[in-house]
Structure 1
Amino acid sequence: MEIKFNISGINRKELVTAIGELVGKPIIYKGAPTFSYDVGDFTIDKSGTLLFPVKADSDLVSKVITGLSERGLEFDESEMMNKLSIEMPLDGFTEESIVKLEKLISSKASLIKKALGATELTIEKTAATLKFPWFKFPATSDEVAAYSQFISALCSAAKEQKKVTARDRVVDNEKFAFRVFLIRLGFVGEEYKLTRKILLRNLSGSSAYASFHPTKADQDEILVSEVNHE
């Protein structure tokens, strides 16, 4: 996660000092080559960008952002909202599996966007990672955990599946359709109950059969998925 502040080196120390006071941690100057400051889980780079991990304490992050704003250190909130990313290492990925990942995402693009409240599902590739900047901030620790599990499952499926079809289709019951997808990704059992709840909450319909009449193919798909992941 990163937040850009419109400051230069001359008043970066003001930003760093304020963060130190708000966090209550010592300020550590890293020197060359980064010329950054570390304050607990927070890093302030040489351009005045505040960086912190997506799993950082959301209450503390909110306290820092509010405190900086009260001190007149403003940021672009619209930009910040688009900067919450989940990153996965490139280890184990091939060009083919990255293409499969893109197809897998495309096949459920409409449902994923609605489930996450995302407008785009862009994947950013760096030298060592894949970035998924799909998520809004602030997010609770439970939400961050659910999002991280979802991205991890997508990546694992892309590496393991032999064939992926990139065909997004309109469904009558969004929750049921996405539940089938989550089961295929391995989200089965009590340990994933909260994750399923978070990922299904923005979708319409019901995840149960009671108000939805799936096709024979849908029934077979969910039964096979449940058996394979028990």
Structure 2
Amino acid sequence: MNRKELVKVISEHFGVKAKYLAAPTFAYEIKTEEQTYTIDKEGKIVDEQGQVTEMRDVLKPREDEPAEDVHIAATEAIEDVPSAAAKIRIPLEEQDGKTLRNMLNMIYSKQPLINKSLELSEKLIEEDFITAINETDISTLADFKIFVTEIGRGKTPGITFDFLKDEMTIQLPRETAGAEELFTLIYKLARKQKHASYKSKPITNEKYTFRTWLLRLGMVGGEYKDARRELLKNLTGNGAFKGGRAHEA
């Protein structure tokens, strides 16, 4: 990953814009709520205390976030159902309308790649649903429930909402740990970001686009190696080079 890609991953992870400092340092500066990072000419990440840090540490969830509990809930959510299918259940009670909209926006923006990666036969979210939810004033969980009940019902074919249990369920054709990791990280990042866009961009290299997004979600390092490989195996292109150069990674 080159320096520009590194800057893009970090800035989009925190939902902020990077500032180019120009001469004499030619560095990029990324200011977050808790820290300021500088990416120097060599691609080193330096925090405001002057300490060099790794990208995996920068993207690591804050200590006050229930990362472990969320991951356990996602693991327990995958259960066997007829036809060897599986369900991933995501809790709603610790979210509000804005974070839930963020999560759906993130899913919709990469829906073609998610569907192909997980071999889904139907859309998770319809276009008119995502357009309407972004044109509606939704702040609280109650606002979200009203929207889904009155406007959005039946417009999320691959996702069901159970407001009695306060959970949303994603139906998968088969059990996969890669999907578990994917939706757990989407859940976490959706809660951190102020706003997530639902708009998608043209894709010329599926593997590179999806791999970059997975890294931005926080799927970094050896612990996620198998999950990344599983999620990328059904996609075309080259995961290491944007233009598809060299051999497949």
Unaligned runs of 5+ in 1: 1-51, 62-79, 214-230
Alpha-carbon deviation of 1:147?
A: 1.4
- Correspondence list, 1:105-184, <5 A: 105-118=107-120, 119-121=122-124, 122-126=158-162, 127=164, 128-133=166-171, 135-137=172-174, 139=175, 143=176, 145-184=177-216
Percent identity between matched residues is 28
Residue in 2 aligned with 1:94? 96
3-state SS of 1:85 partner: strand
Q: TM-score, normalised by structure 2?
A: 0.49
Alpha-carbon deviation of 1:158?
A: 1.1
Distance change (3 Å), C-alpha of 1:159 and 1:210: closer
Alpha-carbon deviation of 1:161?
A: 1.0
Code of the residue aligned with 2:173 in structure 1: it is K
Between the aligned partners of 1:155 and 1:179, the Cα distance in structure 2 is 18
Kindly tell me the number of residue pairs found equivalent between the two proteins: 134
Alpha-carbon deviation of 1:54?
A: 3.0
Q: TM-score, normalised by structure 1?
A: 0.53
Distance change (3 Å), C-alpha of 1:89 and 1:53: closer
Between the aligned partners of 2:188 and 2:226, the Cα distance in structure 1 is 20
**Do the aligned residues in 1 keep the contact of 2:79 with 2:87 (CA within 8 Å)?**
no
**Do the aligned residues in 2 keep the contact of 1:179 with 1:207 (CA within 8 Å)?**
yes
Report 1 or 2 for greater relative contact order, CA contacts < 8 Å, sequence distance ≥ 6. 2
Between the aligned partners of 2:196 and 2:181, the Cα distance in structure 1 is 20
**Do the aligned residues in 2 keep the contact of 1:110 with 1:168 (CA within 8 Å)?**
no
The structure with the largest helix share of the pair is 1
Q: Does 1:198 align with 2:230?
A: yes
CA RMSD of aligned residues (A): 2.4
Unaligned runs of 5+ in 2: 1-75, 125-157
Between the aligned partners of 2:91 and 2:242, the Cα distance in structure 1 is 41
Between the aligned partners of 2:83 and 2:220, the Cα distance in structure 1 is 31
Between the aligned partners of 2:94 and 2:223, the Cα distance in structure 1 is 26
3-state SS of 2:93 partner: coil
